[in-house]
A and B are shown apart, each in its own frame.
Chain A
Amino acid sequence: MSAGLLLDEVTLRHGDGEDITTALDEVTLRVEEGEIVAVVGPSGAGKSSLLAVAGGLTVPDAGRVLVGDVDLSGTERDRARIRRERIGYVFQSNNLIPSLTAVDQVRLPLTFGRHDASRDPLELLAEVGMEHKAGRRPHELSGGERQRVGIARALVTRPRLLLVDEPTAALDRRRSHEVVELLAKETHHLRMATVVVTHDHDVLRHCDRVYEMADGRLKPTRPALV
């Protein structure tokens, strides 16, 4: 049976000549549908590279990446299609488009192409507790509100895989808790495979499994860390 996400002995190198660094070193990771997995580690450990490879933003030098039963080793055009159909991103700095209102931010991914199973943007905003600010633009929202809109945007296409980059950076403790709880709830509710990259150990309490990344290698951490 296929996993929500499978990274199979993935290696990714940056640079050339003598200046080569190994960002991912034979990394294997399997995330089941409905499971939320956290990846922790210091800056430069390869966490962003892991998200980039898992999301089809870059192609690994070795190994394979599967989202469900779909291989991400195709052309950029194929990978872009897979990204818009199967993958949702929640970026560290939420990366909302300044000109769009909250509801339009959520509607935006639906304009990239056909989505048979898309969700209603307004209902989704209500689900993340932002329906009352549907007409507000990013500069009119707080950090936590922006992050909620970012999550709603990532969920609107009903992705199979949700990749979340530092969701609680720049949020206070209460907001962090709300955002992570929301992510965990949506992951279980929508049966998505979710990977959360984080520095925040409070996030880990909501995750099913936790991995630590160091020097491009991934290893499970002891539950004690959680």
Chain B
Amino acid sequence: MFLTIRELVFARSRFALMGTVVALIAILMVLLSGLSVGLVDDGVSGLKKLPVTSLAFERGVAGDAAFSRSVVDLGTVDEWAERDGVTDAAPYGNTLVNAKTNGDVDIDLALFGVQPGSFIDPEPARGTRLGSDPNEIVVSATALDAGVRLGDVVTVDRVGTELTVVGVLDGQHTYGHVDIGYIPLRTWQEIRTGTAPGAQAPAHAYEEITAVAVRSASGTDLAAGDREVGTMSMTLEESFGASPGYTAETSTLQMIQVFLYAISALVVGAFFTVLTIQRKPEIAVLRAMGASTRYVLRDSLAQSLVLLTISTVLGVGIGVAAGAAISSTPMPFSLDPGSIAVAGLLLVVLGMAGAAIAVLRIVKVDPLTALGGNR
């Protein structure tokens, strides 16, 4: 570190310029990470919070549209409940609707139909759980940001079903970028079949659900259950891909992140290549004086590590501050410490890889060049 620190101090303008670029990349990484996590949360946070290990959909339904197309017979719930390793099984319904509150707020809702008292019937943070009244709804806390209030009456478009907001869940519960509202299964079945209040629902309406919500011990043979019951199980994580737009959004963002990582490695590598080439005569002198390859390598890489670490920490700090400001806007953005730590670490590791390639090319420079011309 003898040379490292002294060179960083001496050429501080040059290193500050390099550090600024690394910090800008770090900011971009934090923002992309926040956007990525935000979009995931917006798409599947409600699913993530379901206390289930798997969902049994209709056999043969398209995997990326299972929530909207799957229709499973209610009777399969009992069949799943009797399977070995399954601790809980409950009917689950999923429908997207447009609605309006009595406060004249237009809102899109993902209606999750659940049997009140079942293991997927959520405990609200405010208000009460779903009760015996079929016209109750428990909504995501994010619905309050859209203007919904506890006690409001929400009217479902076209069908006209009126639902009273009796409970508000803790935090964000969204599905397909839409706030979730938990309603009694029977009411959900009527809305799904377009049955207006007071009208007679089709005979099959009360026999159909979207999927069976299953909670089972690890190692439970879901495939055997599917064969027996005639369903198609997805683990909870697999079911995220069936959420509208989830796969396309996440793969696009992942691609952008991968490119950003690659670019950052190239940029940092290019910086250190130029820097190291400029240091070539100096390294030749060090080697002529007897500095070992390890010494030169350690010195150069320590310089890169100090620069990358300081710049990344600075960039992440600015990124987090900017992200905190963005989080208060409607943009789907969420700062996840784990993702940010991984992004920052990757930037440092890839930067070090780029620097190492640059340094390795030059560390074995012939010490003879320190003597200069031929005489």
Could you list which residues of chain A lie within 8 angstroms of chain B, going by C-beta atoms?
Answer: 41-49, 51-52, 55, 57-58, 77, 80-85, 87, 89, 91-93, 95, 97-100, 104, 107-109, 111-113, 137, 153, 165, 197
Give Cα A104 to B241, complex, Å: 61
Q: Are A84 and B290 closer than 8 Å at their CB atoms?
A: yes
Q: Which 9 A-B pairs have the closest CB atoms?
A: A84-B290, A99-B10, A83-B290, A111-B2, A99-B7, A47-B375, A95-B285, A48-B375, A57-B368
User: Is there a chain A Cβ closer than 8 Å to B288's Cβ?
Assistant: yes
Q: Are B288 and A57 closer than 8 Å at their CB atoms?
A: yes
A125 to chain B, nearest CB (A): 17
Q: Are A92 and B291 closer than 8 Å at their CB atoms?
A: no
Q: Are B292 and A52 closer than 8 Å at their CB atoms?
A: no
Could you list which residues of chain B lie within 8 angstroms of chain A, going by C-beta atoms?
Answer: 2-3, 6-7, 9-11, 281-282, 285-293, 295, 366-368, 370-375
Enumerate chain B residues within 8 angstroms of A77, measured Cβ to Cβ: 292-293
Q: Are B371 and A92 closer than 8 Å at their CB atoms?
A: yes
Name A51's contact: one of B10, B285, B371 (CB within 8 Å): B371
Give Cα A107 to B367, complex, Å: 20
Q: Are B3 and A91 closer than 8 Å at their CB atoms?
A: no
Residue contacts A-B, CB under 8 angstroms, 18 given:
A43-B373, A44-B375, A57-B370, A77-B293, A83-B289, A91-B288, A91-B371, A93-B372, A99-B9, A99-B10, A108-B2, A108-B289, A109-B289, A111-B3, A112-B290, A112-B291, A112-B295, A137-B10
Give Cα A153 to B282, complex, Å: 15
Enumerate chain A residues within 8 angstroms of B289, measured Cβ to Cβ: 83-84, 89, 108-109, 112, 153
Q: Are A43 and B374 closer than 8 Å at their CB atoms?
A: yes
A1 to chain B, nearest CB (A): 26
B321 to chain A, nearest CB (A): 33
Enumerate chain A residues within 8 angstroms of B6, measured Cβ to Cβ: 99-100, 104
Q: Are A43 and B3 closer than 8 Å at their CB atoms?
A: no
Please report the number of residue pairs spanning A and B whose Cβ atoms sit closer than 8 angstroms.
99
Q: Are B375 and A45 closer than 8 Å at their CB atoms?
A: yes
Cβ-closest chain A residue relative to B372: A92
Q: Are B370 and A91 closer than 8 Å at their CB atoms?
A: yes
B16 to chain A, nearest CB (A): 15
A48 to chain B, nearest CB (A): 5
Enumerate chain B residues within 8 angstroms of A99, measured Cβ to Cβ: 3, 6-7, 9-11
If the complex has contacts A48-B375, A91-B372, are A108 and B290 also in contact, measured as CB distance less than 8 A? Answer: no
Enumerate chain B residues within 8 angstroms of A87, measured Cβ to Cβ: 290
Enumerate chain A residues within 8 angstroms of B11, measured Cβ to Cβ: 99
Q: Are A109 and B290 closer than 8 Å at their CB atoms?
A: yes
Give Cα A113 to B289, complex, Å: 11
- Name which of A91, A113, A197 has the most chain B CB atoms within 10 A of its CB: A91
Q: Are A98 and B10 closer than 8 Å at their CB atoms?
A: yes
Give Cα A111 to B374, complex, Å: 30
Enumerate chain B residues within 8 angstroms of A47, measured Cβ to Cβ: 375
If the complex has contacts A91-B285, A112-B292, are A165 and B3 also in contact, measured as CB distance less than 8 A? Answer: no
B279 to chain A, nearest CB (A): 9
Give Cα A127 to B7, complex, Å: 27
Give Cα A72 to B295, complex, Å: 21
Enumerate chain B residues within 8 angstroms of A85, measured Cβ to Cβ: 290
Q: Are B281 and A95 closer than 8 Å at their CB atoms?
A: yes
Enumerate chain A residues within 8 angstroms of B371, measured Cβ to Cβ: 48, 51-52, 57, 91-92, 165
Q: Are B292 and A80 closer than 8 Å at their CB atoms?
A: yes
Enumerate chain B residues within 8 angstroms of A52, measured Cβ to Cβ: 368, 371
B260 to chain A, nearest CB (A): 32
Cβ-closest chain B residue relative to A88: B289
Q: Are B375 and A80 closer than 8 Å at their CB atoms?
A: no
Name A57's contact: one of B3, B293, B367 (CB within 8 Å): B367
B282 to chain A, nearest CB (A): 6
If the complex has contacts A45-B375, A48-B373, A108-B3, are A55 and B288 also in contact, measured as CB distance less than 8 A? Answer: yes
Give Cα A191 to B287, complex, Å: 25
Enumerate chain A residues within 8 angstroms of B295, measured Cβ to Cβ: 111-112
Give Cα A72 to B286, complex, Å: 19
Enumerate chain A residues within 8 angstroms of B281, measured Cβ to Cβ: 95
If the complex has contacts A97-B3, A97-B282, are A197 and B291 also in contact, measured as CB distance less than 8 A? Answer: no
Cβ-closest chain B residue relative to A213: B375
Enumerate chain B residues within 8 angstroms of A49, measured Cβ to Cβ: 374
Give Cα A72 to B288, complex, Å: 14
Enumerate chain B residues within 8 angstroms of A57, measured Cβ to Cβ: 288, 366-368, 370-371
Enumerate chain B residues within 8 angstroms of A104, measured Cβ to Cβ: 2, 6
Enumerate chain A residues within 8 angstroms of B367, measured Cβ to Cβ: 57
